[in-house]
Amino acid sequence: MQAVRRCSACAKRAAGGLVQNQEVSLLQRRGAACIRYLSTSERRRSGVQKPGELTNPTHISLASVSVGHGLWQVEDLSHNSLIRRAASVLTDSSSSFLSQATLALTDALTDYSKAVHSRIIFQKRYLASVGKMSPSEEESLQRAISGWRSEAAERLNECKHYDSTWIKAVNLSKMAAEAAYSSGAHQASILVQTNIQVAQSQVEEARKLSSEADKKLAETKVEEIQRMAEYSAFLEGSEEREVHEAYLRED
């Protein structure tokens, strides 16, 4: 404020013609000094740094400066901030890993269920036609049953493989959520926890369908045992009748 009053006094004296040439030169130097002082004060109050000040190693280690709308903007690069950013990147990566593992496992479980159901269809058709079909028809059905049995076995191996990967993905996502929460990235932690719940729900539904397929297959196997036992008894009875009839004819 003192500098401002000096500038005002100088201006009045110059305007009134009360000074000599040497005094005018002195007043000009004082006015320039006033302007520099005010500019420096304004920059300090607004927190804006001059480009030369940014070469200070202390400033560089704590902040990154970018230009926006013609002003210098300071970006926080403290240790805590960098840890939060890294934790957010970790949650993004773990969520992507979990998503892919979930998709692979659910697809494998779905394919397994389809293969088992297809095997059941042909197996029931075979049981219903035992003793009534030609040798070529019987061979065709048995070949179809064998093919779907092999397909189901392959899909089951895939399920086991992807299940192991999926469990690792879930554990990794849980650790990422804990790391994000402890570092202060609470939103990222909540998001990955939600992703875990969704993934678990999807896998649980796919496993439920495969379990139902296994249950139906077990029931079909029991039915097959009963049906083949009945058919064997029928054949034995037929042979006994044939033997008995032949004996009677001999008599």
Read off the pLDDT of residues 212-226 as tens digits, 9 standing for 90 and up. Answer: 999 999 999 898 888
- Any idea which of 60-64, 75-79, 117-121, 236-240 has the lowest mean pLDDT? 60-64
Q: How confident is the model at residue 96 (pLDDT cuts 50, 70, 90)?
A: very high
Specify if 126 maps to a domain.
yes
Specify if 27 maps to a domain.
no
Specify if 182 maps to a domain.
yes
Q: How far apart are CA 115 and CA 113, in angstroms?
A: 5
Query: What's the pLDDT at 75?
Result: 63
Q: How far apart are CA 60 and CA 77, in angstroms?
A: 9
Specify if 218 maps to a domain.
yes
- Any idea which of 127-131, 143-147, 160-164 has the lowest mean pLDDT? 127-131
Q: Nearest CA to 128 among 200, 56, 220? A: 220
Query: What's the pLDDT at 87?
Result: 87
Token couple for 5: 């009053």
Task: Give the residue with greater pLDDT, 56 vs 137.
Answer: 137
Mean of pLDDT over the chain = 75
Q: How confident is the model at residue 74 (pLDDT cuts 50, 70, 90)?
A: low
Query: What's the pLDDT at 36?
Result: 52
DSSP labels, 131-186: TTS-HHHHHHHHHHHHHHHHHHHHHHHHHHHHHHHHHHHHHHHHHHHHHHHHHT-H
Average pLDDT over residues 120-149: 90
pLDDT surpassing 80 at residue 45: no
pLDDT surpassing 50 at residue 70: no
Domain enclosing residue 207, as ranges: 79-250
Contact 171, 183 (CB under 8 A): no
Q: How many domains does the chain have?
A: 1
Query: What's the pLDDT at 71?
Result: 44
Contact 91, 176 (CB under 8 A): yes
Specify if 34 maps to a domain.
no
Contact 135, 151 (CB under 8 A): no
| Residue environment code for 225-251, b if the CB has 16+ CB neighbours within 10 A, otherwise e | eebeeeeeeeeeeeeeeeeeeeeeeee
Token couple for 27: 């007043």
pLDDT digits (tens, 9 = 90+) for 18-43: 344 444 454 455 544 544 544 454 44
Query: What's the pLDDT at 216?
Result: 94
Query: What's the pLDDT at 238?
Result: 58
CATH code (residue 118): 1.20.58.70
Q: Could you give the C-alpha distances from 205 to 53, 109, 157, 160, 216, in angstroms and in order?
A: 61, 10, 19, 16, 17
pLDDT surpassing 90 at residue 205: yes
Average pLDDT over residues 126-146: 88
Token couple for 29: 């130097």
Query: What's the pLDDT at 6?
Result: 47
Specify if 234 maps to a domain.
yes
Task: Give the residue with greater pLDDT, 191 vs 74.
Answer: 191
Specify if 43 maps to a domain.
no
Task: Give the residue with greater pLDDT, 207 vs 47.
Answer: 207
Other residues' Cβ atoms within 10 Å of the Cβ of residue 136: 8
Specify if 162 maps to a domain.
yes
pLDDT surpassing 90 at residue 164: yes
pLDDT digits (tens, 9 = 90+) for 58-67: 343 444 444 4
Query: What's the pLDDT at 4?
Result: 41
